[in-house]
């Protein structure tokens, strides 16, 4: 393996470590993981179409991406100060708000795609 390939593999290892660390230490990552499992299981059971999977998976990855960015920003702010500062608080709140928006989007996507399919499957309407 050449030097560039070795560095690339090392960067992937660090990225996986970052994901694993966030999953171990962040409650919301675990909550999102359970929700993802349930949505994916429901999608398989309801036999979603390709475009529906595209929306579901895009929403899932958006949520995880925003949670990772929120986690990294919180940790960087904590690295620089443990004392309360209004700007630090505002930065953390904004990142948390972004993660919340992504989660709300995922709920909307799941609702628009899964609820009609579920209602059809169990003959509600």
Residues forming the active site: 67
125 three-state secondary structure? coil
Q: Where are the alpha helices (DSSP H) in 26-49?
A: 27-45
Both structure tokens of 19: 């994901």
**Given phi > 0 = left and psi -120 to 50 = alpha, else beta, which region is 47?**
left
In angstroms, what CA-CA distances link 81 with 87, 94, 104? Answer: 11, 17, 30
- Cα separation, 96 vs 117, in Å, equals 31
């Amino acid at each position: 393996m050449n030097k560039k390939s070795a560095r690339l593999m090392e960067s992937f290892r660090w990225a996986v470590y970052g994901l694993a660390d966030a999953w171990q230490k962040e409650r919301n990552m675990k909550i999102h993981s359970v929700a993802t499992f349930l949505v994916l299981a429901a999608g398989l059971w309801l036999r979603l179409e390709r475009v529906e999977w595209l929306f579901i998976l895009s929403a899932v990855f958006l949520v995880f991406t925003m949670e990772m960015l929120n986690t990294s920003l919180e940790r960087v702010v904590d690295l620089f100060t443990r004392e309360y500062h209004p700007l630090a608080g505002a930065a953390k709140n904004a990142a948390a708000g972004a993660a919340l928006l992504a989660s709300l989007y995922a709920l909307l996507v799941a609702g628009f795609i899964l609820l009609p399919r579920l209602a059809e499957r169990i003959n509600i309407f």
